[in-house]
Chain A
Amino acid sequence: MATLETFYEVMRRQGITRRSFLKYCSLTAAALGLGPELVPQIVHAMETKPRTPVLWLHGLECTCCSESFIRSAHPLVKDVVLSMISLDYDDTLMASAGHHAEAILDEVMEKYKGNYILAVEGNPPLNEDGMFCIVGGKPFVDQLRKVAKDAKAIISWGSCASFGCVQAARPNPTRATPVHEVITDKPIIKVPGCPPIAEVMTGVITYMLTFDRIPELDRQGRPKMFYSQRIHDKCYRRPHFDAGQFVEAFDDEGARKGHCLYKVGCKGPTTYNACSTVRWNEGTSFPIQSGHGCIGCSEDGFWDKGSWYARQSDILQFGIEANADQVGTTAAIGVGSIIAAHAAVSALKRAQHKGDV
């Protein structure tokens, strides 16, 4: 870690020809939805900018974000990790362990103070002083606060870091808390999903390195380029929705014909993600394509918006599992009964006092 090489230098050292390098830049531009006139800008950035140190911390999580990340195809995660960023600390990926690993953390924090990117996978539990998640003998929340202090920006990987995900689902016994509620003084890029799409993860990193700024974010802090539309808006089964053709049960004719999964609880209409465009595993498929509705894994609190097989979510405030229509119908029957009884009493009263009024 003496002096950081530029991306281009690293790629050339790995035997990549300039021609391949330029192709790579063009592909990256296309993946980010940029026009051809911006390719030279990417080339220039790659040729001149030193690699950015990234520290990747793991809190309460399942490592599905890392699993997704290492499967990125465009760009290949190999290129991201070895050429683009300087992934100096990632306890699940790095070779060193124990005190050696922790020493690197301190070294990078000191050397690149205010210039490194902090990537957080998972979130800190705050109950019992954070004792539900211990990293290197200390509560994870302490490590997070320490590393976040001098970071340039923070990437919240996955729904855990962005919104809390399953460990923050009701009743959330460990008080798992999303990163943005713990670290409030740094720019935070939320990349939700359980896990996020690999190409979305590498795409966000590529954008940040290329343009040296964080991507444009929406109201909830997610990069607009990947999270500005719902699954529903770009779903290939959308024509069936508009036509009113639905899968009524998972083994019916509609399911075989690939009709819309709305009635079996698809959360596509309420979920912002790039699954229906970027898809998964090198663009092979995504949940809806495989015949299962979207579960809305990139939405805030999706674990508590059940069932995954019903369009209307249960309202837990009523103590029983009931959706808006069930609550409304019950209330309407109640009010209807009261009205009927009231009308009957009114008629009786009137008969009693006939001629009084």
Chain B
Amino acid sequence: MAPLDDAKPVATPDEEGTAAPAAGRFLKAIYVYEVPVRVWHWINALAITVLSVTGYLIANPLPSMPGEASAHFLMGYIRFVHFAAAYIFAVGFIGRLYWAFAGNHHARQLFRFPFWDLHWWGELILEARWYLFLARKPKLYVGHNPLAQFAMFWVIAVGSVFMIVTGFALYSEGAGQGSWQDRLFGWVIPLFGQSMDVHTWHHMGMWAILLFVMVHVYAAVREDIMSRQSIISTMISGVRTFKDAEVPADEEHEAPAKRVKHAG
């Protein structure tokens, strides 16, 4: 099979599997997530955590500090950390977007929403049925399953753009008129009506991402334990291991494309 051509020699079928309680070993390994994707994933996860905590504290500040104002800068530090993490988040997103073009086809999946692909929708429904305990077995995927791709596209790809745009619009209010943040993103404020509404939507965006994170972490842990391929270790090593010999659903029509790319 084609995937083994791309498999890194780090994993061979004879080695002990990491999380395969049934078999205790895996039969196949495919290199999926390249280094920039993995590095971005964990930096992004950290940035989202920091942004959510500091963002929440900006809207709901900690109890008042005692003493003189000159002795403290708590709110200032919280805002600084929020802005610093926001820049990391934004620059990371731009880097990730670049890698969608420079990296392998799995790196593009986050930014794709195959709306017209009926086959894709069919598999999405199948995956949803599996999560609702209506289907006996899910399909195997080298990359993301359609349901995961759907959620990631809307919450991480579109959601990040939304948070970056609204976030920089709010930042531009402090940076002042004529600042590059104002010139690039200042139009967002009147688009929403006024600053208050942008705050509210930025806040709702945080909650949407947090809900995604909850489901994402749960699904990753659950899949790692229950399904027939690795999930969590893949985002660390980059290698997806399979516990049985079934052909992944997205292997056939994606692998040839990859081979063409390698040939060219």
- Name A224's contact: one of B64, B65, B78, B177 (CB within 8 Å): B177
- CB-CB nearest in chain B for A329: B207
Interface string of A331-356 (1 = CB under 8 A from B): 11001100100110110011000010
Stretch at the interface among A6-14, A273-281, A308-316: A308-316
Asked if B115 is at the interface (CB within 8 A of a chain A CB), the reply is no
- Name B196's contact: one of A220, A296, A349 (CB within 8 Å): A296
A219 touches B189 (CB 8 A): yes
Shortest CB distance B24–A (Å): 13
B211 touches A331 (CB 8 A): yes
Shortest CB distance B53–A (Å): 13
A335 touches B203 (CB 8 A): no
Asked if B210 is at the interface (CB within 8 A of a chain A CB), the reply is yes
Asked if A254 is at the interface (CB within 8 A of a chain B CB), the reply is yes
**With A and B bound together, what is the CA distance between A350 and B223 in angstroms?**
12
- CB-CB nearest in chain A for B187: A219
**With A and B bound together, what is the CA distance between A259 and B64 in angstroms?**
9
A325 touches B195 (CB 8 A): no
Asked if B71 is at the interface (CB within 8 A of a chain A CB), the reply is yes
B211 touches A312 (CB 8 A): no
- CB-CB nearest in chain A for B195: A270
**Chain A residues positioned under 8 Å from B72 (CB to CB):** 243-245
**With A and B bound together, what is the CA distance between A332 and B209 in angstroms?**
11
Q: Contacts A324-B204, A343-B218 known; A244 to B174 CB distance under 8 Å?
A: no
Chain B residues in contact with chain A, CB under 8 A?
A: 22, 56, 59-65, 69-76, 78, 131, 133, 173-174, 176-177, 186-187, 189-190, 193-197, 199-200, 203-204, 206-207, 210-211, 214-215, 218, 222, 226, 228
Chain A residues in contact with chain B, CB under 8 A?
A: 218-220, 224, 228-230, 233, 239-246, 248, 254, 259, 262-263, 267, 269-272, 296, 299-302, 305, 311-313, 315, 323-325, 327-328, 331-332, 335-336, 339, 342-343, 345-346, 349-350, 355, 357
List 6 A-B residue pairs with CB atoms under 8 Å apart, sorted by A's residue number: A228-B176, A245-B65, A301-B193, A313-B199, A325-B203, A339-B214
